[in-house]
Amino acid sequence: MRKLTSIDEFKGLQDRLIADQPSDISTIIIPAGTCGQASGANDIIRAVKREILAKDLSTNIRIRITGCHGFCEMEPSILIEPQGTFYPKVNPKDIPRIIDAILKDSVVDELLWKDLSIGTTIAKQQDIPFFKQQTRTIISRSEKVDPIRIYNYLRSGGYRGLAGALDRGEPKWVVNEVKISGLRGRGGAGFPTGLKWEFLAAKKGDRGKFLVCNADEGDPGAYMDRSVLEGNPHSIIEGMLIGAYATGATNGVVYARYEYPLAIKHLLIALRQARELGLLGENILGTSFSFDIDVIKGAGAFVCGEETALIRSIEGKMGEPRQRPPFPTDKGVEGKPTVINNVETWANIPVIFEIGAKEFAQIGTKGNSGTKIFSLVGKVKNTGLVEVPMGITIGEIVFDIGGGSIGKAAIKAVQTGGPSGGCIPVSMFDLPIDYDSLAKAGSIMGSGGMIVMDENTCIVDIAKYYVNFLKDESCGKCYTCRKGTQRMYELLEDITEGRGTLEHLDLLEELAHVVADTTMCGLGQTASNPVLSTLKYFRDEYIEHIIDKRCRASVCKDLVGAPCQATCPIGTEAWRYIAHISRGEYEEAYISIREENPFPSICARVCDHKCESRCRLGQSGDRPVAIRALKRFVTDNVDPSVYKPKRSSEKQTAKVAIVGAGPGGLTAAHYLSLKGYPVTVFEMDSKPGGMLFSCIPAYRLPQDVLTKEIEAVLDENITLECNRTLGTDFTVNSLFDDGYKAVFIAVGAQKGRQLDLEGEDAEGVLPSIEFLKAFNQEGIQLAKGNVGVIGGGNSAVDAARTALRQEGVEKVTILYRRTQEEMPAFEEEIEAAVQEGITLETLVAPVKISTEDGKITGVEFQRNQLGKMDSSGRRRPVPMEGSNFNLPLDTLIIAISEQPDVNSIKPDIEGGLEITRWNTLQVNENTLECGRSGVFAGGDVVTGPNTVIAAIADGKKAAVMIDRYIHGEELRQIEEPKIPKVYVEPYPIDEDEQGEIERVELPRVPVKRRSKSFIEVERAMSDADAEHEAIRCLRCDLEFTTPKSEEH
Amino acid sequence: MINLKINGLNVSVDKGTTLLEAAQSIGFPIPTLCHKEGLTPYGACRLCVMEIGEGDRAKLVTSCTYPAEEGLKVRTASRRVLRARRMIIELLLASSPQSKTIQDIAAAHNVKQQRFRQEYEDCILCGLCVRMCKEQMMAGAIGFRGRGQDRSIGTPFDIKSEVCRLCGGCLYVCPVCSLRCTYNQPDKAICGACANLSPPCVEKEPFDDMMCYMEPCVACEIK
């Protein structure tokens, strides 16, 4: 490389390089930053080179190795220029096919990126949603250059901004341009860069001035600076050169993390090349301007990213912040005036001089111009670096670019700004991302880390994690930062380990405010953000940890114990009965189930088994233990009489009324009766059982099982009064008049929601609840001919499968507005329905019901396509114009949802009961209290249609609350954590044996025999299968229990 | 001269005067632990915080390190200042309850209890000894090591310093009376200034072969 001695010479070289560039030859671009190399980019590079050499293609195909392009999730990836084809997760084996395709100017379809929600492939990078919605001014430059080849950078227009500035010869103009661009510091605080430069330019330069590039990127989960340094180091050098020219700085320093070896290597190479070419050092491009840059490696302290600590670290002293003022522009490195800017800020400078300051100011919003790179990580589909214009909303980044939640769990919050930032809840995802809005919401922009959290993330644990990080990374100088973070950690630890009290919360909040108030540097001042922002938006979760001793995300070990037990709404010790089954102790197993659940046989058939969703076996890659099936095995094989309920010897005199004999009402009655209360249960139907009886079809839950279990619960303390309807035959008010001391309302949700379409009152159109009730209670068959069921929940599937079994039904179709994956019904139910021959029509919505003589003849549907993500993280169904089609129907069953019948409650509104806008009863969810003292409510009447187990849980809770109410005790009390307490000796197996066993599936009656009959579809397990299944359990409980012999 | 307002009073001070000096010059009592005349202000204990600025821009700064600025409005005992100061005292009491100095400050601020888990630490890392050693004794034998909760004061690699002259300056300035210089032979102890009635060191392991600053007092046991 020959040293360039004038600006003209430079321009000549650059023009020549650009002219020499062949434009029609395809280039294979391989991103090989640290992330790419870690996922195997080096193998890809080798494979591509080998293929090119072997087939002698070096004149036909070029190869360029670059830094990261941002889509880290899909690495190792390949980008083909000029076509723009993108191949994600490339295997070296596929390289020959890809190269063949390039030569034929086509693509290898099966290797392209696939949109899983639609199932189609997308060839061009710019069409992929992840890239499409970004404005990639900085990252896209990394695609154009090989970081270790300066000619590559020159060819892409590099150093043109510097040459232009030198040519113009007016440093003041340069400062002014940066001011006009409105660029604000990308390190997090957002100080206007131009202003900072102006301060420095105004300082006397006789003793020298410093420019520093802060590349001490230490936030967990943030790596945009690394990626820019690795992928385009010359852009930083050019930015600093322009800055030095503008401000008269003489020395430059890049302070880079020691943990970024590749970035440092590329930077050192780039510096050497720039020096050789005369772009750095004495008399740059033959002018009188001189400037050189040193690289200093940070030793790994997070606090050294703070500018005053960074200065001390550069000076070789301990990285410890000092009081500002004096600001670094007055007194910086070695006491000389200094400007410190972040990597991304420097990378923006060449952009400003390339596109023009005014143009730059147009990007983003007023006061927040330009783009910002975020590293989007966590529980989101597309992780990687995302560059967006300022002012875009969080929701757009998380859902549109990030693709929403990675699994089925809904997204809960996003943490911005690293340890010093805060958590922003999903309800605030409309917040535009700029320095000021984020600060207002209690977070910070920070350097741009963005960690997405879903329901499996515990917010208290997250706060603890960050405070732990900060207590280690605080420099320790300020007493309140050092001790304050330690004490905050201690308080959070107490809360997550079950020792928390409400005083902990007050103290934590008070301390957090003082820490923010009394510390010197940015680290301490923002150290409280993780705590304060989570307290602000997720206080409920903290209180749940403290009072209910429950961690809803199943993260805090000491509160969760065994996840199966913690997730069960009634705290069934699943681990315990599974352990007993593995030892062949079936009676003990039954007793342990029955202690917590008065309806074990029912739950063994229809429970939505939340326990299985959190089973550690399932979360560690295997399939979860078939807990519900094991429960079924126990209840099928043990005589219920082995369980003798523990009755209180005390007799209570206070009478309790329970309205509704569904699972919730009967559970409350049962547990109140055990406590000695005389209970009266009022039921509007002729038989107890509620929805279990009227809506769940017999092929899922045989009626004799139901009847037996309900009869076993009714005892001498419980009086059952059937055919008595709330609101008509009696009111809550009249119950109190009759001497009842407390009332539990569990009347369920009995009214089907309507479509609000014309013709809904026609014959043949009916809500699913009416249809199911008519059949289950009285055997009336309302379906005939061609049947359509609108909805995607369990009641839709139940209605469809029941209809299929009725006489005169020819065909049944379930019509749902979203995709099959998003159907709320149980997966196994949908699967069984499809097996039985029911057609599933998804992404359709009804628009018109056609009738003739008051009878339905068909329904007009419109097809939906998937639109943008909504706040639940699901893609919104959007109607497609002109996609309407007609479906001839004889029966239309509407199963879109149910609501409580408000008429039953109306007479009591005066008494204090309140109805929400969803027509449900308003209760205090912690105590189940309604607006009137002594009245409690639970189950579907409060939640809307919900599961059986949720109703049972409410019934249990109501029994406890009513007992406390009658005794005049505080209703909400600090609970005991539900962690395993009983030791059950493990069944001896060796590990190989356990590893080989696969989950046992419950056998089903063959479709032929079942699709027209109501025999129970699921069959029981054999003894051997049950034992096999039981020993799959990882026995999470053993961590918490000790054998009797070892107890002290 | 620089003119500013402290608690509503007009004050004129020389350029370079700190807020602490300005407030003390007109008689406002400000508690300090890490401040000592003759040593560079450091701002570690945060006790001397004052509130400056107005409205949304109001903030707390340590007065020992903040230079007086023209027209500045300073409040030395606003609600915000007192809330912070009391919390700092609580933190101090929670960690170093045996220090007479800290007890006195707590008493003066009517802080009678602390709500954290009780600890018994000796050093509050105020750094007076470090600055004394370096700035007044011109030795620089001791310094800070580590960061965050691992921060401590001592010599590099815990090796006996060659520049230490056992002058005792470090313990003379120590506000919690824990850095007592005894060298590694208790009989050569030169400390006698400790007025702590129940020295924290009595309970601890016997003194081993280390620099005095590293381990708690043995002097207290040697009458």
3-state secondary structure of B188: helix
Structure tokens at A379: 């529980």
Backbone angles phi, psi at B56, to 5 degrees: -65, -20
pLDDT exceeds 50 at position A587: yes
Res. A772 pLDDT band, cuts 50 70 90:
very high
Q: Report CB contact under 8 Å: B125, A486.
A: no
b vs e for A194-211, b when ≥16 Cβ sit within 10 Å of the residue's Cβ?
bebbbbbbebeeeeebbb
Q: Report CB contact under 8 Å: A482, B59.
A: no
Last residue of a domain, one of A339, A362, A385: A362
Residues A209 and A325 reside in one and the same domain: yes
3-state secondary structure of A902: helix
pLDDT exceeds 70 at position A554: yes
What is the rounded distance in angstroms from the CA atom of residue A336 to the CA atom of residue A980? 64
Segment 58-77 of chain B within 8 Å of chain A by CB: 59-62, 65-67
CB atoms within 10 A of CB A257: 22
Q: Report CB contact under 8 Å: B95, A471.
A: no
Q: What is the DSSP letter of B214?
A: G
Q: What is chain B's Cα-based Rg?
A: 19
What is the rounded distance in angstroms from the CA atom of residue B101 to the CA atom of residue B121? 14
Is A216 inside a domain boundary?
Answer: yes
* Ramachandran sector of residue A125 (left: φ over 0; alpha: ψ -120 to 50; beta: rest): alpha
Q: Report CB contact under 8 Å: B148, A475.
A: yes
- In chain B, which residue's Cα lies nearest the Cα of A511? B87
Query: Partners of B6 in the beta sheet?
Result: B9, B74
- Which pLDDT belongs to residue A973? 87
Q: Which of A879, A788, A794 is nearest to A840 (CA)?
A: A788
Residues A408 and A542 reside in one and the same domain: yes
- Which pLDDT belongs to residue B209? 36
- Check if B147 contacts A (Cβ < 8 Å): yes
- Which pLDDT belongs to residue A175? 95
Residues A932 and A861 reside in one and the same domain: no
User: In chain B, where does the domain assigned CATH 3.30.70 lie?
Assistant: 128-221
Q: Which of A446, A447, A454, A438 is nearest to A378 (CA)?
A: A454
Could you list the residue range(s) of the whole structural domain that residue A573 is in? 561-644+979-1039
Q: Report CB contact under 8 Å: B151, A318.
A: no
Q: Report CB contact under 8 Å: A510, B87.
A: yes
Percent of chain A with pLDDT strictly greater than 90: 62
Of the residues A436, A475, A479, the best mutation for testing chain B's interface (the one with the most B CB atoms within 10 Å of its CB) is: A479
Residues A875 and A952 reside in one and the same domain: no
pLDDT exceeds 70 at position A343: yes
What is the rounded distance in angstroms from the CA atom of residue A804 to the CA atom of residue A785? 10
Structure tokens at A239: 């930015």
pLDDT exceeds 90 at position A1012: no
Last residue of a domain, one of A491, A514, A548: A548
Res. A603 pLDDT band, cuts 50 70 90:
very high
Backbone angles phi, psi at A121, to 5 degrees: -95, 155
Residues A597 and A521 reside in one and the same domain: no
What fold does the segment set B128-221 form as a domain?
Alpha-Beta Plaits (3.30.70)
Of the residues A323, A503, A523, the best mutation for testing chain B's interface (the one with the most B CB atoms within 10 Å of its CB) is: A323
Is A100 inside a domain boundary?
Answer: yes
Q: Report CB contact under 8 Å: A482, B125.
A: yes
Residue range A839-874, pLDDT digits in tens = 999 999 999 999 988 899 999 999 998 877 676 667
**Tokens 């249609």 sit on residue:** A945
What is the rounded distance in angstroms from the CA atom of residue A249 to the CA atom of residue A339? 9
Q: Report CB contact under 8 Å: B149, A471.
A: yes
Structure tokens at A377: 């990580």
Res. A1047 pLDDT band, cuts 50 70 90:
low
Q: A2-8 long-range contacts, Cβ below 8 Å, gap at least 24?
A: A3/A276, A3/A277, A3/A278, A4/A277, A4/A278, A4/A279, A4/A285, A4/A286, A5/A278, A5/A285, A5/A286, A6/A285, A6/A286, A7/A163, A7/A166, A7/A167, A7/A285, A7/A286, A7/A287
Mean pLDDT of all residues in B190-206 = 40
Enumerate residues 6+ apart whose C-beta is below 8 A from A223: A34, A35, A217, A375, A385
What's the mean pLDDT when you consider all of chain A? 90
What number is the ipTM of this complex? 0.85
Residue range A905-960, pLDDT digits in tens = 888 888 888 899 888 999 998 899 998 899 999 999 999 889 999 999 999 999 99
Segment 316-335 of chain A within 8 Å of chain B by CB: 318-320, 323, 325
CB atoms within 10 A of CB A998: 10
Residues A228 and A164 reside in one and the same domain: yes
pLDDT exceeds 80 at position A1039: yes
Of the residues A320, A487, A508, A521, the best mutation for testing chain B's interface (the one with the most B CB atoms within 10 Å of its CB) is: A487
Residue range A243-299, pLDDT digits in tens = 999 999 999 999 999 999 999 999 999 999 999 999 999 999 999 999 999 999 988
- Angle formed by the axes of helices A948-966 and A663-674, to 10°? 40
3-state secondary structure of A1004: strand
Q: Give the distance from residue B211's alpha carbon to the nearest chain A alpha carbon, in angstroms.
A: 22
Answer for the pair A748, A939: CB distance below 8 angstroms, yes or no. Answer: yes
Q: Which of chain B's residues have a Cβ under 8 Å away from the Cβ of A479?
A: 44-46, 88, 91-92, 124-126
Residue range A287-332, pLDDT digits in tens = 999 999 999 998 888 999 999 999 999 999 988 998 888 899 999 9
Mean pLDDT of all residues in A526-551 = 93
Q: Report CB contact under 8 Å: B125, A479.
A: yes
What separation in angstroms does the CA of A618 have from each of A380, A975, B156?
20, 28, 51
- Which pLDDT belongs to residue A386? 94
Q: Considering its fold, how many domains does chain A have in total?
A: 6
Residue A40: CATH number of its domain: 3.40.30.10
Res. A996 pLDDT band, cuts 50 70 90:
low
Which burial class, exposed, middle or buried, applies to A282 when counting CB atoms under 10 A from its CB (0-12, 13-18, 19+)? exposed
Q: Give the distance from residue A326's alpha carbon to the nearest chain B alpha carbon, in angstroms.
A: 9
Residue A918: CATH number of its domain: 3.50.50.60
More confident residue, A1009 or A538: A538
pLDDT exceeds 80 at position B177: no
Q: Which of chain A's residues have a Cβ under 8 Å away from the Cβ of B125?
A: 476-477, 479, 482
Of the residues A440, A475, A483, the best mutation for testing chain B's interface (the one with the most B CB atoms within 10 Å of its CB) is: A483
Q: Give the distance from residue A155's alpha carbon to the nearest chain B alpha carbon, in angstroms.
A: 46
Residues A572 and A544 reside in one and the same domain: no
Is A395 inside a domain boundary?
Answer: yes
Q: Report CB contact under 8 Å: B148, A490.
A: no
- The A765-767 sheet, strands edge to edge: A765-767, A891-894, A785-790, A809-816, A839-842
- Which pLDDT belongs to residue B223? 35
3-state secondary structure of A878: strand
Report the range of poorest mean pLDDT among A709-713, A801-805, A958-962, A984-988: A984-988
Query: Partners of A31 in the beta sheet?
Result: A66
Is A734 inside a domain boundary?
Answer: yes
Is A789 inside a domain boundary?
Answer: yes
CB atoms within 10 A of CB B108: 11
- Check if A518 contacts B (Cβ < 8 Å): yes
What is the rounded distance in angstroms from the CA atom of residue A871 to the CA atom of residue B140? 60
Mean pLDDT of all residues in B112-124 = 87
- Which pLDDT belongs to residue A873? 64
Residues A336 and A207 reside in one and the same domain: yes
Q: Report CB contact under 8 Å: A479, B67.
A: no
What fold does the segment set B2-108 form as a domain?
Ubiquitin-like (UB roll) (3.10.20)
Residues A277 and A343 reside in one and the same domain: yes
More confident residue, A90 or B219: A90
pLDDT exceeds 50 at position B182: no
What is the rounded distance in angstroms from the CA atom of residue A235 to the CA atom of residue A138? 9
Answer for the pair A457, A556: CB distance below 8 angstroms, yes or no. Answer: no
More confident residue, A1019 or A745: A745
Residue range A662-704, pLDDT digits in tens = 999 999 999 999 999 999 999 998 889 988 888 899 899 998 8
Residues A879 and A944 reside in one and the same domain: no
Enumerate residues 6+ apart whose C-beta is below 8 A from A272: none
Residue A494: CATH number of its domain: 3.10.20.600
Res. A1048 pLDDT band, cuts 50 70 90:
low
- Which pLDDT belongs to residue A822? 83
Q: Report CB contact under 8 Å: B125, A476.
A: yes
Type of residue at A1011: S
More confident residue, A201 or A779: A201
Residues A296 and A423 reside in one and the same domain: no
Answer for the pair A793, A824: CB distance below 8 angstroms, yes or no. Answer: yes
Q: Report CB contact under 8 Å: B115, A479.
A: no
Q: Report CB contact under 8 Å: B146, A475.
A: no
Q: Report CB contact under 8 Å: B88, A514.
A: yes
- Which pLDDT belongs to residue A23? 74
Residues A462 and A475 reside in one and the same domain: yes
Nearest to B147 among A474, A483, A517 (CB): A474
Report the range of poorest mean pLDDT among A395-404, A949-958, B163-172: B163-172
- Check if B186 contacts A (Cβ < 8 Å): no
Residue range A471-506, pLDDT digits in tens = 999 999 999 999 999 999 999 999 999 999 999 999
Q: Which of A759, A774, A924, A765 is nearest to A847 (CA)?
A: A759
Q: Report CB contact under 8 Å: A514, B87.
A: yes
Q: Give the distance from residue B187's alpha carbon to the nearest chain A alpha carbon, in angstroms.
A: 34
Q: Report CB contact under 8 Å: B87, A511.
A: yes
- Check if A436 contacts B (Cβ < 8 Å): no
- Check if B148 contacts A (Cβ < 8 Å): yes
- Angle formed by the axes of helices A160-168 and A343-355, to 10°? 70
pLDDT exceeds 80 at position A44: yes
pLDDT exceeds 90 at position A465: yes
Enumerate residues 6+ apart whose C-beta is below 8 A from A871: A395, A426, A427, A429
